[in-house]
């Protein structure tokens, strides 16, 4: 049976959201709620948040839900038993549901390394990827982009900066990119020095000036690691060299990023800081969907400012350039060390400045593999996490 959108006869896109209970997942459901003629929810997944997963499933009536935490299976299963919704639990189920023939697009909204395997399985089964989970590209960009090319699967960026770059190159396919100008808000500690950073608290780090996001990415924004991850993500998504990516601090977060072409012309995408727009563009591409989201008024932003990032203070950005220039499994090492260090910071086990110091140490200590296979990367992730935990325990 083919379902169609009666307004314009385009087929309804059937969406799987991996990580529907998170910040991106919830905003994606807002988009879908506003456009019921364009999208149907096929799969929803969560890690541990059974209550919200049940609530979402009752509203959107997906074909299938998966809760990664197996101890929550019965709770979800019992709540959804009166409905025609399949319930699975565990990491393996979260990966294998990506094979469902009824899924058109997978929105990867999981945080961290956990997004890699479901994304690869979805690509293997020919699903369009709406990519929010940047860690997948950081860890295994070469493998992911190669398998997407082999399967002719589009990877559509959700990250606002990468969406802006993508929107700037639509219609420019034959014009090579000279440079990407990747904008950064600078985070809550823009303009501060290392002395200031020594004593910042979790609450300070989670107080982002422009964006409301999950905790891990918010801390990454405060250390500038988020921008480092985005440099690596951009390298793979747009097939450019790291030296073609310039980070520009733009505290107002109105210009979401820019592309410079060979004639010196620069194209940009602008808008209010609101993730629902890039999420919607990734779901609706190549079409733009009419939406009444609040519009940008330039009168509200009489001054747009730009600055160079301070990589002496915010060393994570420099570490990310170092990792991608070294290549191999180094970005995977960096990512694993960062995930463990950020989690330790959020548990008040380490100070803010221990995050970059830990990552730098792990990048020195971990076993380097120049041409890693997927198995090598899985092993690197496991080994680096353990090494980082041991290092932090003995500090």
Q: How far is the CB of 214 from ligand NDP (least distance, A)?
A: 3
Q: How far is the CB of 246 from ligand NDP (least distance, A)?
A: 20
* From 110, 123, 258, 341, residue interacting with ligand NDP (rule: CB under 6 A): 110
Residues 57-86 binding ligand NDP (CB under 6 A) are: 68
Query: Toward ligand NDP, which CB reaches closer, 261 or 273?
Result: 273
Judged on CB neighbours under 10 Å (0-12, 13-18, 19+), 295 is exposed
Query: Toward ligand NDP, which CB reaches closer, 233 or 361?
Result: 233
Angle, CA 272 vertex, CA 269 and CA 277 arms, to 5°: 70
Q: How far is the CB of 343 from ligand NDP (least distance, A)?
A: 11
Q: How far is the CB of 208 from ligand NDP (least distance, A)?
A: 9
Helices (H) and strands (E) in the chain, counts: 16, 11
Whether cis (ω within 30° of 0) applies to the bond prior to 128 is: no
Q: How many CB atoms lie within 10 A of CB 207?
A: 14
Q: Cα 244 vs. chain centroid, distance in angstroms? A: 21
Q: How far is the CB of 73 from ligand NDP (least distance, A)?
A: 13
Q: Which position has the token pair 């730098």?
A: 360
Give the SS3 label for residue 63: coil
Closest CA to 247 of 237, 261, 265, 233: 233
Residue 158 contacts residue 136 (beta carbons within 8 Å): no
Q: Which position has the token pair 């250390």?
A: 223
* From 48, 61, 71, 150, residue interacting with ligand NDP (rule: CB under 6 A): 48
133 binds ligand NDP (CB under 6 A): yes
Residue 360 contacts residue 323 (beta carbons within 8 Å): no
Interface stretch with ligand NDP, choices 174-182, 213-221, 239-247, 351-359 (CB under 6 A):
213-221
Q: How far is the CB of 9 from ligand NDP (least distance, A)?
A: 32
Interface stretch with ligand NDP, choices 104-112, 174-182, 375-383, 385-393 (CB under 6 A):
104-112
Query: Toward ligand NDP, which CB reaches closer, 13 or 134?
Result: 134
What DSSP designation does 294 have?
A: P
CB under 8 Å to 225, separation ≥6 — which residues? Answer: 316, 317, 319, 320, 338, 342, 355, 356, 359
Per-residue x/- mask for ligand NDP, residues 135 to 174, rule CB under 6 A?
x-----------------------x---------------
Using CA atoms, how far apart are residues 249 and 185, in angstroms rounded to an integer? 6
What are the DSSP calls for 170-188, one per residue?
Answer: TT-TTS-EEEEEEEE---T
Per-residue x/- mask for ligand NDP, residues 267 to 286, rule CB under 6 A?
--------x-----------
219 binds ligand NDP (CB under 6 A): no
* From 79, 97, 106, 114, residue interacting with ligand NDP (rule: CB under 6 A): 114
Q: How far is the CB of 143 from ligand NDP (least distance, A)?
A: 17
185 binds ligand NDP (CB under 6 A): no
Question: What are the Cα distances from residue 138, in Å, to 2, 144, 218, 258, 259?
Answer: 37, 10, 17, 21, 21
Residue 332 contacts residue 372 (beta carbons within 8 Å): yes
217 binds ligand NDP (CB under 6 A): yes
Q: How far is the CB of 95 from ligand NDP (least distance, A)?
A: 10
Residues 4-33 binding ligand NDP (CB under 6 A) are: 19-25
Query: Toward ligand NDP, which CB reaches closer, 23 or 361?
Result: 23
Residues forming contacts to ligand NDP in the complex (CB under 6 A) are 19-25, 46-49, 68, 94, 109-111, 114, 132-135, 159, 211, 213-214, 216-217, 275
């Amino acid at each position: 049976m083919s379902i169609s959108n009666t307004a314009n006869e385009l087929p309804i896109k059937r969406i799987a959201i991996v990580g529907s209970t998170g910040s991106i997942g919830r905003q994606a459901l807002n988009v879908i709620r506003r456009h019921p003629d364009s999208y149907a929810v096929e799969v929803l997944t969560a890690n541990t948040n059974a209550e919200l997963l049940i609530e979402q499933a009752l509203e959107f009536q997906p074909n299938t839900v998966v809760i990664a935490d197996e101890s929550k299976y019965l709770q979800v299963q019992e709540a959804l038993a009166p409905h025609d919704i399949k319930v699975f639990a565990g990491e393996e189920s979260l990966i294998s549901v990506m094979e469902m023939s009824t899924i058109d697009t997978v929105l990867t909204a999981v945080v961290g390394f956990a997004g890699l395997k479901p994304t690869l399985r979805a690509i293997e089964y020919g699903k369009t990827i709406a990519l929010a989970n940047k860690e997948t590209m950081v860890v295994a960009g070469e493998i992911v982009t190669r398998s997407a090319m082999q399967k002719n699967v589009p990877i559509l960026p959700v990250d606002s900066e990468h969406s802006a770059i993508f929107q700037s190159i639509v219609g420019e396919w034959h014009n090579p990119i000279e440079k990407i100008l990747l904008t950064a808000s600078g985070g809550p500690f823009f303009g501060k020095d290392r002395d200031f950073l020594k004593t910042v608290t979790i609450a300070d780090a989670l107080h982002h000036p422009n964006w409301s996001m999950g905790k891990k990415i918010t801390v990454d924004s405060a250390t500038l690691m988020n921008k480092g991850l985005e440099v690596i993500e951009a390298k793979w998504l747009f097939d450019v060299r790291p030296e073609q990516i310039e980070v520009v601090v733009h505290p107002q977060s109105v210009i979401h990023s820019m592309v410079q072409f060979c004639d010196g012309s620069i194209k940009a995408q602008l808008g209010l800081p609101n993730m629902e727009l890039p999420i919607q563009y990734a779901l609706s591409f190549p079409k733009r969907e009419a939406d009444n989201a609040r519009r940008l008024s330039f009168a509200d932003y009489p001054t747009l400012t730009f600055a160079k990032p301070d990589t002496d203070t915010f060393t994570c950005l420099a570490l990310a350039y170092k990792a991608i220039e070294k290549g191999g499994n180094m970005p995977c090492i960096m990512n694993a060390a960062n995930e463990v260090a950020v989690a330790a910071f959020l548990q008040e086990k380490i100070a803010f400045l221990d995050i970059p110091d830990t990552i730098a140490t792990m990048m020195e200590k971990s076993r380097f593999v120049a041409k890693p296979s997927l198995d090598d990367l899985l092993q690197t992730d496991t080994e680096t996490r353990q090494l980082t935990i041991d290092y932090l325990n003995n500090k």
